[in-house]
Every structure is written in structure tokens, then in C-alpha cells.
Structure 1
Amino acid sequence: MDPRRKEYLSTEVHYTEESLRIGEHYVMHEWERPLIRRMVENLKITSTDHVLEIGFGLGISATLLQQFRPVTHTIVEPHPQVLEQARQWQGERNGVHLRQGYWQQLGSDSTHFTAIFFDPFCDDMAAVDDENISFLEFASRTLLAEDGRLAMFCIHPFLPLDYQRAMFAHYRQVEIGVVQVEPRDTADPTDKWSGRMISVVLYK
């Protein structure tokens, strides 16, 4: 998402038990939970980790990450209404820090994190791949500590060549696992792949 797009921040948010929609665009669905759970499991979070999470959404990944009680858990979320949901979720949880903004606004002075969960929203599907690859490069240079891990929500059931180039240029190890999901209440992004999505974790 281009951080210069101010109109997005005033777009109305709609929560249901099954999904989060911002304006006319779906952001997250409850049916994604099996994939998100696998991504968190594959990150291998421990109580010594400093975690960065990009995008709060329905709070599924945030809740799963908190089960491992990391030292710190920083959540970056641009939309004020979604951020308010995050504040309510935060409650008395120790070590949770909320930061309003886009990942592109994280500077070189940011803390080095040992684990990152990357699942932002972008309503311009044509820009998703470029933004994801830009983050992979930025995270390796600026955000991740040595031997840090990054879990990336991938909209593809495979890794396109551009992703592979970026990953192997900036990370020493790539782990991919297949996860079965059952999309509902929306167009099925896995229709051609029989519900197959992938969990992707990178090691710096």
C-alpha cells in the first residue's frame, strides 16, 4: 500500500465473525486461520524473541504469536479503525507495542527484530508482488537481526521467479510448506489449486 494514499485511512471498516472488509475490499478471512497458524508455527517463536508484525487484520496471527510470550511484540498497522481494534485486543498484554503507520515508514533506526510476521493489506493487486519483494529486501537490510526469521503471507500457491531471486539473494534458507484451506464467503483465490496455499519462512 502506497503510504501517500491518505483516502484509505478514512475508508470505513466492516468486521464480521468471518471477515474484515475495508471499503469494498476484503482484507482477511477466518478461513485463512490454518495457513496463519502454520506460518506462526514455522516461525518457531520463543520467549526470547523480539517480534515485528506487519498488519493486524482480524488479530489471528497476533493472538497466535502471543501464545509464545515473546519479549516484545511490535504491531504496525496504518488504518486507525483497525488500530483501535488492536488496542482493544492489546489490553494488559505485556511487551505489546502498537505503531500506526505503514512498513515503508519504518526507518533505519528501527529495532532489529529476531522474527517478523508479514501480512499487510494492499488493494492494488498489481502492486502486491512488487511491494512484497521490496519488503523482503528491506527487512533483510534493515529490520532483521542476524539469524532472524521472516514469515510472509504469499498470495500464490507457488513462488514466482521474482520472489525466488529476492529470497535467495538476501536469505540463507527458505522453507516452504503446503497448507490446505477452505475459502468461503468470497471469490476463491485457490480455485485452480484445490485449496492449496503455502507457508513461507525465510532465514537471514
Structure 2
Amino acid sequence: MDPQRKDYLATEAVYTGDSLRIGDEYVMHEWERPLIRRMVEDLKLTPDDRLLEIGFGMGISASILQEFGPASHTIVEPHPQVLVQAERWKGSRTNIQLHLGYWQQLDPGAQRYSAIFFDPFADDMAAVDDENLRFLKFAAQSLLGDGGRLALFCIRPFLPLEYQRVMFEHYRRVEISSVQVAPRETANPTSDLDGRMISVVLHK
């Protein structure tokens, strides 16, 4: 494993009332909730869905996803302390499976899902776009069944050209809707954009 990732996984996860911080990096904020809810709503989950969620964070998305009662809900989270929080959150729910690790460790083709919620924390910020694009290809080829949907957390209020190329090559439809958030005074890329963000759902 990359030494940088070993350092990240050994760094303490700190939960406050409205954020999750790992080391000096903010991983998630409460202000993201309206965007996450819209992403989940746009995913249009049903009780028949086999759901894969990449990244647990504060459990905001996991809790909203559970409101729709998917048949199964698999969560992949690399940070051991965050996974402990996920275990507590899971409680007695029987439709949830938790896995410690990165999405890159998933076995290609071992399981097909009808819906994916993708919002991992990039412990290597320089590689975030490359990893996101790799996942979009991997999901279309090895994780999603025919007709499956993928909700992508996009930190920009627009889709860069390289994302558009991959999306339209591997997915038959791209759904985008505008979402307004109210970011706090923490480091985030929305402060100069008046809180404008987008919900992105891809259809295979």
C-alpha cells in the first residue's frame, strides 16, 4: 500500500457536531446534507435495489439511503475508526454489510449492483479526478447491472470535459440537477460559488 495511505489510515478521525476531520483535512460537513439528499432522491431507490455505497463519513448519505429501504446496502469504507462509527450506526439493521477497504479492492464482477452512491474521501487530493474517472469506468464495466444507476458526488457546480467524455462513453444517460447549499466557514470549494452545486446521476 502507498505509504501516504498508510499514514492516512493511522490518523485519528475526529467527529464534531457538524463535521468529520481526519488529521488536518475536513472529510465531510453538515452543509452537504441538502446535496446528498438530492443525490439520493435522484437515484430513485426501490425496495428491490441492491445498493453499494462508497465512503461512510458522517453517515449522512447512509441514513438517507436507508429511508428508501433497499434490499441490500453494502458500505465500503477504508478508515478503521470511521468503520467503527459505521458499526455503531448500523445497529441491528439486517440489510447492511460493512467492508473495510478501498473501492479499488473490490473484486471485479463478483457482485452486480442496481444502484451505487459514490462519495469517498480522496486521501490523495492530487489524484482525485483520476480516481473518480477510474471508478466511473470500473463501475460501468464490473459493478453495475443493466439499467443500474450511479450517483456521483461532484464538488464542482459543473462537469469538466474529461468527466463528460467518460460518462457519455460508458453510460446511456446523464442526469444533472442544480442544488443550493449553505457552506460554513470551513475550507470548501463552494464559498466562491455562492453555494451552487450539482447532483449527478448516471444510468447504465
User: TM-score when scaled to structure 1?
Assistant: 0.96
Pairing 1:139–2:146 present: no
Note the 1:6-17 alignment, pairs <5 A: 6-17=6-17
- The count of residues paired between Structure 1 and Structure 2 equals 204
SS of residue matched to 1:189 = coil
Which segment drifts farther, 191-200 or 154-163? 191-200
Note the 1:157-176 alignment, pairs <5 A: 157-176=157-176
Residues 13 and 20, structure 1, Cα contact 8 Å, conserved in 2: yes
Distance change in 2, residues 1:159/1:75 (3 Å): same
Residues 177 and 198, structure 2, Cα contact 8 Å, conserved in 1: yes
CA distance in 2, matches of 1:27, 1:110: 29
Residues 54 and 119, structure 2, Cα contact 8 Å, conserved in 1: yes
Distance change in 2, residues 1:72/1:3 (3 Å): farther
| 1:193 Cα offset (Å) | 1.8
CA distance in 1, matches of 2:4, 2:125: 17
Note the 1:37-52 alignment, pairs <5 A: 37-52=37-52
Q: Which amino acid aligns with 2:49?
A: D
Residues 3 and 102, structure 1, Cα contact 8 Å, conserved in 2: no
| 1:5 Cα offset (Å) | 2.1
| 1:108 Cα offset (Å) | 1.6
In structure 2, the residue matched to 1:177 is 177
CA distance in 1, matches of 2:75, 2:24: 24
Pairing 1:153–2:153 present: yes
Note the 1:51-200 alignment, pairs <5 A: 51-200=51-200
Residues 52 and 73, structure 1, Cα contact 8 Å, conserved in 2: yes
Residues 3 and 104, structure 1, Cα contact 8 Å, conserved in 2: no
Distance change in 2, residues 1:138/1:166 (3 Å): same
Q: Which amino acid aligns with 2:59?
A: G
CA distance in 1, matches of 2:54, 2:2: 14
| 1:155 Cα offset (Å) | 1.2
| 1:109 Cα offset (Å) | 4.0
Give identity over the alignment, percent: 67
CA distance in 2, matches of 1:6, 1:19: 23
Aligned CA-pair RMSD? 1.5
SS of residue matched to 1:183 = coil
CA distance in 2, matches of 1:180, 1:165: 26
| 1:12 Cα offset (Å) | 0.5
Q: Which amino acid aligns with 1:35?
A: L
CA distance in 2, matches of 1:93, 1:185: 35
CA distance in 2, matches of 1:3, 1:48: 40
Deviation by residue 1:114-145 (Cα, 9 ceiling, x = unmatched): 00000000133221111100000000000001
| 1:100 Cα offset (Å) | 0.4
In structure 1, the residue matched to 2:32 is 32
